[in-house]
Amino acid sequence: MPLVEPVELAPAAEVGPVHFIAIGGAGMSGIAQAYADLGVTVSGSDRDDSTALRKLAAAGVRTHVGHAAEQLGDARTVVVSSAIKPGNAELDEAHRRGLRVWHRSAALGALMLGRRGVAITGTHGKTTTTGMVATMLTHVGADPGYVIGSPLAATGESAALGTGPAFVVEADESDGSFLQYPAQVVVITNIEVDHLDNWGTAEAYVDGFVRLGAADAVEVVVMTADERSSREVAAVLRDRGRTVVTYGEAPDADIRLSDLELTPDVTAATLAAEGDTGRLALAVPGRFNLHNAAAAYAVGRALGHAGPELRAALGAFAGTQRRFEAKGEVGGVRVYDDYAHHPTEVAAVLRAARPRVGPGGRLVACFQPHLFSRTRDFLDEFAAALTLADVVVLAGIYPAREAAEDFPGVTASALAGRVRSLGREATVVEGLGDVAPALADAVRPGDLVLTIGAGSVTTVGAELVALLRERP
């Protein structure tokens, strides 16, 4: 898939009516809602009905299930996601009419014009960190605008216009669209090579982050001090005149975490920054979330807020959907769902879950690999990460935009073989409909089950909870 090239933006209030193709997607629905809240006439379509589609319809957005040329109506701007290709009836009609066609990133960037833009990206952690910044700024009374790739657990909302000076966005690095955003503050949570099907080489992927941080409008770049690639990019950006603020556990971090407490009941650390040292306590688990919170804190300081109020506000963050999201507890078995789809993310969420396993229980990982190319490229890394669980169940690979015939030998069974070679048993259940029953047969009181992956595995947790409730 080619990288998204930045385009010239126009103020969001001036480009309507706007029609969104694939309006029900996690990223698209929030942007569409923001345009509707701005008073722009909004319509949209999606292949399937969904909760997001119905929510937009209830808010006054004209929605359609399925795609047809006439559904564009009197639109002047058409917004598409990366999944929409030539041959889509609505996209083809938009080009035939000579309408403005924007990638979703351009529509989001247009909302940021005239605000103090904050773009949050990185290989891992960008959704959670964006949610933390939005929650933190809301709780200190800054009333930010924001668009997050997943709804906040506390509110069910993934977007708000806000009236304050800041507009915070989750910036996707996978397709290069993060280069579109007019941001003054940029967060790069980490840099670990991924999405080579788009970027081609590791060098090109890393250079994308350099280009982002070195953009003319950028004033402050927030980066981890605990990772070699990020430190190298930070040095390049400093050489180019950018102010770089680092965070993490490294002794030279500008915002340093120490004295970490990671127990089933407490996720906390001492945070030390210029002019502020104190306790940072979170309601979400995991060492990685303390790092995400330190990045969010750095944004708050860059926007002029006081350290103590930022630390207190971060404690209000209750997570986002699909990030260690509780699905239910039945008979001493607790079930969670997480979007992790890269080996580093899988390892991090399993480590965060381990302290929460009940007495005598096991950590059960139900993983659905996402993309054949990613599974092929990180087969050994995925296997090593999955050994952090006690029980491993693998669903068939979620293909997304790829085809199995293009990747001979890349299967869930191949991954299971690698897991077994590392001394951990792994079971393969190819059909997604068979996964929840298999888990229901395998679990016992005290177990913690994590369904993991960026694809359709997210449905398994609720199915498992329902099955367990039906059993004695």
Known catalytic residue at 170: yes
Known catalytic residue at 327: no
Does 124 belong to an annotated binding site? yes
Distance, in Å, from the CA atom of 448 to the CA atom of 114, rounded to the nearest integer, reads 46
Catalytic residue among 77, 121, 127, 387: 127
Catalytic residue among 93, 126, 402, 411: 126
Does 128 belong to an annotated binding site? yes
Quote the tokens at residue 128.
């959670």
Does 387 belong to an annotated binding site? no
Determine how many CB atoms are found less than 10 A away from the CB of residue 99. 16
Distance, in Å, from the CA atom of 238 to the CA atom of 251, rounded to the nearest integer, reads 19
Does 125 belong to an annotated binding site? yes
Distance, in Å, from the CA atom of 436 to the CA atom of 439, rounded to the nearest integer, reads 5
Scan for tokens 């924007």, then name that residue: 102
Distance, in Å, from the CA atom of 435 to the CA atom of 457, rounded to the nearest integer, reads 9
CA R_g for the chain:
22
Known catalytic residue at 126: yes
Exposed e or buried b per residue across 187-204, where buried means at least 16 C-beta atoms within 10 angstroms of its C-beta: bbbbbbbbbeebbeeeee
Say whether 198 sits in a helix, a strand or coil: helix
Q: For residue 223, what are the CA distances in angstroms to 113, 189, 231, 289, 298? A: 24, 6, 8, 15, 9
Catalytic residue among 90, 93, 170, 345: 170
Does 55 belong to an annotated binding site? no
Cβ contact 222:297 at 8 Å: no
At 249, give phi and psi (nearest 5°): -100, -5
Does 126 belong to an annotated binding site? yes
Q: Which are the catalytic amino acids? A: 126-127, 170
Binding residues for ATP: 122-128
Binding residues: 122-128
